[in-house]
């Protein structure tokens, strides 16, 4: 293991990174590329270029580390997802291109035991210095306090303006479809 947690983000290079390298004080490279879906399906989920790796390191240092300081040790559900992983996850045909911020290394999905998903989303909105989106996804307290997850995205320097957008992904009572709505809330609350 090499400690690269003090290396400037713009100097992070795939040529030098190994899965066990520390890229932030408490996070390793493998935590940014792990994917249960990719592992089960034999899909390559490695960074395709330095740009995605640098964006994921920036996110780890400015989002995941802030959350760890508050909530203690955890590992994100998902950070980077390759196009191939996205196709498998979303059941799309070969050649389909995802626009998910995960494919750029700019997003993470997080759950923390003992903290409700909605509470975590609200905490992030109040305590992160900046963010692009915080989305309370699929949270239904009838399914338990940790149902769903919190999606947090952060654009790396030079990649555009962070919008500070708060959304929820909830089941629409009328259509039973999942929809994005403004604000942070649980599913089952009328849209």
Average pLDDT, the chain: 94
Domain chopping of the chain, boundaries: 9-182
Asked if pLDDT for residue 181 goes beyond 90, the answer is yes
The better pLDDT of the pair 171, 105 is held by 105
Asked if pLDDT for residue 158 goes beyond 70, the answer is yes
Percent of the chain topping pLDDT 90: 88
**DSSP string for residues in the chain:** --B-TTS-GGG--TTT--TT-EEETTEEHHHHH--HHHHHHT---S-SSHHHHHHHHHHIIIIIHHHHHHH-S---SBS---HHHHHHHTT--TT-----GGGGT-EEEE--TTS-HHHHHHHHHHHSS--SEEEEES--GGG-TT-SEEEEE-PPTTS-----EEEEEEE-TTT--EEEEES---TTS--
Q: How many CB atoms lie within 10 A of CB 71?
A: 15
Q: What pTM, to 2 d.p., does this model score?
A: 0.94
What does the pLDDT average to over 45-74? Answer: 97
In this prediction, residue 189 carries a pLDDT of 59
Asked if pLDDT for residue 42 goes beyond 60, the answer is yes
| pLDDT tens digits for range 124-140 | 999 999 999 999 999 99
- For residue 135, which phi and psi values (nearest 5 degrees)? -125, 120
In this prediction, residue 191 carries a pLDDT of 40
The correct answer on CATH 3.30.1380.10 for the domain covering 9-182 is: yes
175: confidence class by pLDDT, cuts 50, 70, 90 = confident
């Amino acid at each position: 293991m090499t400690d690269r947690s003090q290396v400037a983000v713009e100097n992070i290079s795939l040529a030098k990174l190994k899965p066990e390298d520390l890229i932030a004080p408490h996070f390793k490279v493998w935590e940014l590329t792990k994917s249960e879906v990719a592992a089960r399906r034999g899909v390559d989920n490695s960074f395709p270029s330095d740009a995605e790796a640098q964006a994921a390191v920036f996110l780890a240092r400015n989002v995941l580390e802030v959350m760890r300081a508050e909530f203690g040790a955890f590992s994100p559900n998902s950070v980077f997802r390759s196009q191939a992983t996205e196709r498998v996850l979303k059941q799309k045909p070969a050649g389909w291109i995802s626009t998910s911020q995960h494919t750029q290394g700019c997003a993470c999905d997080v759950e923390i035991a003992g903290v409700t998903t909605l509470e975590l989303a609200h905490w992030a909105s109040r305590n992160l210095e900046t963010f692009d989106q915080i989305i309370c996804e699929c949270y239904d307290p009838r399914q338990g306090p940790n149902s769903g997850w919190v999606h947090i995205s952060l654009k790396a320097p030079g990649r555009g303006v962070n919008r500070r957008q708060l959304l929820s992904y909830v089941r629409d009572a009328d259509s039973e479809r999942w929809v994005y709505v403004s604000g942070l809330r649980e599913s089952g609350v009328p849209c």
